[in-house]
Structure 1
Amino acid sequence: MVAHAEDAWFRRFHAAPEARARLVCLPHAGGSASFYFPVSRALAPDVEVLAVQYPGRQDRRHEPFLTTIDAMADAVAGLLADKTDRPLALFGHSMGAMVAYEVARRLESAGGSVDTLFVSGRRAPSRQRDESVHTRTDEGVLDELRRLSGTEMDLLGDEDVVRMILPVVRNDYRAVETYLHVPGTPLAAPVVAFTGTDDPVASVAEVRSWADHTSAGFELVTLQGGHFFLTRHQDVILRYLADRLVDKGRVHV
């Protein structure tokens, strides 16, 4: 049963049986595991990359959505609880950063450890805004996607593709916008936060507040670009991941 659940939730794009570390990557709203294929390709075989596949998309499209950040975090943390054979790190972009943070909290609360929490394109949990994209019309949700440039513009012109992705995107925005951070013990894991200089949904100051959520080290990496700055600066981010997860210079990206 557990093995089946793990196969559903985690994608291993490249074999890494002798990996020195494990990196779990959590996608953004509307995103899927395949977004992290380049990360797996670059870091294998030194790092085992597990890309999370949320229910309701791609090969899991017939499964019901999980409608809250907490439900997503519960599922992922439950599957990671016994993976103690190598150092574990988490990487999440946008909504994925929120899920990764809550996964880290759950693992540490249960006595486990997280080597590093990498967050990208998301303000700190304590820095909340009043947002309601999930209540908009379909065209209103599409306007937000265009604003963030998170989906290729030519795909938005394909009616069948739009019909397919809108329920996923709306569900994920609902999860993000109804999330309420419950203050608690700061993480024992260090946090590395990546942000774009022109991200409309996460200012540099809001991202810097991730420092308040860890009792270990904090590093802020600011890169040029908007919400999906990481696609432009993939090489930079991969170097940070490699340097943190294995001996410096061991992984070549």
Structure 2
Amino acid sequence: MSTAKTGAWVRRFHPAPDAATRLICFPHAGGSATYYFPVSRALSPEIDVLAIQYPGRMDRRNEPCVEDIHELADLVVEQLTPWLDRPFTLFGHSLGATLGFEVAQRLSATGEHPLALFASGRMAPSRHRDTDFHRFDDHALIEQIGQLSGTDAKVLDDAEMLRLILPTIRGDYKAVETYRMRPGPPLTCPITVLTGDDDPEVTLDEAQAWAEHTSGRFEMTVFNGGHFFLTDHVEAVLTQISAQVAAA
């Protein structure tokens, strides 16, 4: 498939046309597709990696953010249709984990079942916390972002850069905080949860609750670290993804 068909939504940094499977990656709140560039580089050419670029960031910064996860999932599914010509696995971190679940539900309803769903750094869709960080003033929102250690400190100290990215982060937080799971059958594909043992956004019980959302196999791996534990455990996470995709 030509990379010209990826469009604005789908990024394919290292095309692997002969790979047997695809890995479709969903970024976190405030994140962009480039977060998964190292994943694509590491897994290609054995796995064809796609990363989703949401509106409102990077080269799509002039487009309005989609502030509703259900709406975002509908849009993503439309864009993924041409890429379902081979078995695929879904991977999402934080907001991306919830979005991956909603995309998996929609695709499964049409008979397109993922090989597996990897849900990283996010509570189960059935769990909810009453937070409203998206309503905070800029100073308080920046403080919240800094506590998660997912944004370069230089960016947080750059007023011009913050001016550019804060609306996107606020929109993504709104999408997460207003999300409510709709009734529906559990997935049939395996769900693997990755979580940090010191993540202020997810307790181990909230992570374990993902088991309720599949009739298939469930696994949970707990890493040392906070919300962005992935940064310190890249090799271990990539090894786990490769092994499970191969087994599936």
TM range (shorter): over 0.9
Counterpart residue number, 1:34? 34
Q: Quote the offset at 1:182 in angstroms.
A: 1.3
Deviations 1:56-112 (A, max 9, x none): 100111112111101111111122234332111100000000100000000011121
Tell me, in whole angstroms, the C-alpha distance in 2 between the residues paired with 1:37 and 1:6: 15
- The gaps in structure 1 that reach 5 residues or longer are 249-253
Counterpart residue number, 2:192? 192
User: How high is the sequence identity, in percent, across the aligned residues?
Assistant: 49
Counterpart residue number, 2:233? 233
Counterpart residue number, 1:251? none
Counterpart residue number, 1:24? 24
Kindly tell me: are residues 182 and 45 of structure 1, through their superposed partners in 2, closer, same or farther at Cα, counting changes over 3 Å? same
- The gaps in structure 2 that reach 5 residues or longer are none
Alignment of 1:1-253 (within 5 A): 6-246=6-246
Tell me, in whole angstroms, the C-alpha distance in 1 between the residues paired with 2:97 and 2:40: 18
Q: Quote the offset at 1:183 in angstroms.
A: 2.5
The one-letter code matched in structure 1 to 2:21 is A
Tell me, in whole angstroms, the C-alpha distance in 2 between the residues paired with 1:18 and 1:176: 36
Tell me, in whole angstroms, the C-alpha distance in 1 between the residues paired with 2:28 and 2:84: 26
Question: What is the CA RMSD across the aligned residues, in angstroms?
Answer: 1.5
Tell me, in whole angstroms, the C-alpha distance in 2 between the residues paired with 1:38 and 1:81: 25
Preserved CA contact (<8 Å) 2:133 2:173:
yes
Deviations 1:27-72 (A, max 9, x none): 0000000000010001000111001100010011111211110111
Tell me, in whole angstroms, the C-alpha distance in 1 between the residues paired with 2:155 and 2:83: 38
Tell me, in whole angstroms, the C-alpha distance in 2 between the residues paired with 1:37 and 1:181: 30
Counterpart of 2:42 in 1: which secondary structure?
helix
The one-letter code matched in structure 1 to 2:145 is L
Counterpart of 1:48 in 2: which secondary structure?
strand
Tell me, in whole angstroms, the C-alpha distance in 1 between the residues paired with 2:83 and 2:40: 18
Preserved CA contact (<8 Å) 2:95 2:122:
yes
Please give the TM-score of this superposition, normalised by the length of structure 1. Answer: 0.94
Counterpart of 1:89 in 2: which secondary structure?
strand
Kindly tell me: are residues 5 and 134 of structure 1, through their superposed partners in 2, closer, same or farther at Cα, counting changes over 3 Å? farther
Tell me, in whole angstroms, the C-alpha distance in 2 between the residues paired with 1:171 and 1:64: 9
Tell me, in whole angstroms, the C-alpha distance in 2 between the residues paired with 1:107 and 1:70: 13
The one-letter code matched in structure 1 to 2:74 is D
The one-letter code matched in structure 2 to 1:207 is A
Preserved CA contact (<8 Å) 1:196 1:224:
yes
Aligned residues: 246
Please give the TM-score of this superposition, normalised by the length of structure 2. Answer: 0.96
Counterpart of 2:102 in 1: which secondary structure?
helix
Decide which moves more: 11-20 or 71-80: 71-80
